[in-house]
Amino acid sequence: MRQAFRAAVLHCLADPGEGSDASALQFFDDGLLLVEDGRVIDIGDASTLMQQLSDDIAITEFPGKIIVPGFIDCHVHYPQLDIIASYGAQLLDWLNQYAFPVEAMFADEDHAREVAGVFLDELLRNGTTTALVFGTVHAHSADAIFEAAESRGMRLIAGKVLMDKNCPNELQDTPESAYADSKALIERWHGKGRLGYAITPRFALTSSEAQLAAAGRLASEYPDVWIHTHLAENKAEVEEIARQFPDSRSYLDVYDKNGLLRERSVFAHCLHMDDEDRTCMASKGGAAAFCPTSNLFLGSGLFDLRAMRTAGIRVGLGTDIGGGTSLSLLTTASEAYKVLHLQEQALPAPRALYLATLGAAEALYLDDKVGNFEPGKEADFAVLDPAGSSLTERRIRVASSIEESLFAITMLADDRHIAATYVAGKRSLIK
């Protein structure tokens, strides 16, 4: 079935960089997005493309709104939805006080299913159509999020957490069960429709050497499966890693030695690392998830985007709920701007859009499928409403360019600024 959507249309063709390279952005003030069977077939000026349409095509019009590619969240924990905005702790205490107790509740399969549905509806409400998602240690936590994503038609990557030490007993698996459960989940879900599996060791402090080795074995047996973990988030954590892994040159080296650094490895945070680590990560194709609301909220540190991109590392934005404070990638980009501003780095609006869409797709090795509106890609998109709040509407009236409008929307936006979200050409019905 062929469909047409008329509004302003905006997407990135490449990384606009700190200098906001105009050729990396494509914008149609009165644009048309043509979709057939869930895929983009063309975009362009409405006046030109409408002449080529047959009369029987229904055109969905969004006057005054901006169609952008669906946002992609490169790091988020769905089981932590209910502890978002928990007061006062840094990473290691925060895990014990808040994250582990709420994850223990996922022993109940019905609870996992309920939270998975609410979580994905919240993503869609925020214009997010794809995410890389942590479950809990329970294998059925992965089943629950995959079932919920499948019923909504979303492109989603997730995995069950591996952890066998430094956490409550009821949240521990073993190297053997971690391997067997993950393998069964890969066989059940990886490549099924739009779903993909991620081997998900929580971080190096909660996995024994035997478990890290088992995860690495699995990663080599399934080279097109993702690896998803945390890296160098917090200074106390990095010091503990140095104590527990004296033979490793760095935190990244612990993962690398276990075969967990390769293409499709995604590391959340990457705050406290050196140039040797960056060169190594880039050369092996690993990617970083930049999670500014979490890094500020947990007092973890400032992500050095310039150093990461200069080294050639793929980077996308992550909300990192529940350490992060918003599921909106627009709000996340707004905090990214401030984190970079503190370090005398620039984040022009086109690059922020890139980090939330095409850049994130590149980080996840999904840029042949999603991330922008190149013909053939899956038609996942969000409809931005610049009048989502009266203040944003007022601000946009005096903007003189799309870059200025997009910047103001990014700084001021929340889920009220998402008028609709489409997944593979279908409007999502958010419950």
Positions in 176-205 near Zn ion (CB under 5 A): none
Q: How far is the CB of 138 from Zn ion (least distance, A)?
A: 17
Stretch of 50-58, 106-114, 217-225, 314-322 lying at the interface with Zn ion (CB under 5 A): 314-322
Q: How far is the CB of 268 from Zn ion (least distance, A)?
A: 5
In the complex with Zn ion, the residue whose CB is nearer, 203 or 373, is 203
In the complex with Zn ion, the residue whose CB is nearer, 232 or 353, is 232
| DSSP single-letter state for residue 378 | B
* Cα distance between residue 217 and residue 215, in whole Å: 5
**Torsions phi, psi for 229 (to 5 deg):** -155, -175
In the complex with Zn ion, the residue whose CB is nearer, 25 or 133, is 133
In the complex with Zn ion, the residue whose CB is nearer, 20 or 96, is 96
Closest CA to 68 of 151, 155, 8, 110: 8
In the complex with Zn ion, the residue whose CB is nearer, 254 or 379, is 254
8 Å CB contact between 225 and 197: yes
Q: How far is the CB of 71 from Zn ion (least distance, A)?
A: 18
* Cα distance between residue 7 and residue 97, in whole Å: 47
Which token pair is 353?
A: 């859009």
8 Å CB contact between 201 and 160: no
Asked if 320 touches Zn ion (CB under 5 A), the answer is: yes
Asked if 73 touches Zn ion (CB under 5 A), the answer is: no
Asked if 380 touches Zn ion (CB under 5 A), the answer is: no
Stretch of 33-41, 43-51, 260-268, 358-366 lying at the interface with Zn ion (CB under 5 A): 260-268
Which token pair is 96?
A: 């014990």
In the complex with Zn ion, the residue whose CB is nearer, 229 or 372, is 229
Burial class of residue 180, CB neighbours in 10 A (0-12, 13-18, 19+): middle
Q: List beta partners, residue 197.
A: 158
Q: How far is the CB of 271 from Zn ion (least distance, A)?
A: 12
Q: How far is the CB of 202 from Zn ion (least distance, A)?
A: 8
Stretch of 36-44, 123-131, 318-326, 414-422 lying at the interface with Zn ion (CB under 5 A): 318-326
Q: For the packed helices 402-412 and 329-342, what is the interaxial angle rounded to 10 degrees?
A: 100
| Binding interface with Zn ion (CB under 5 A) | 268, 320
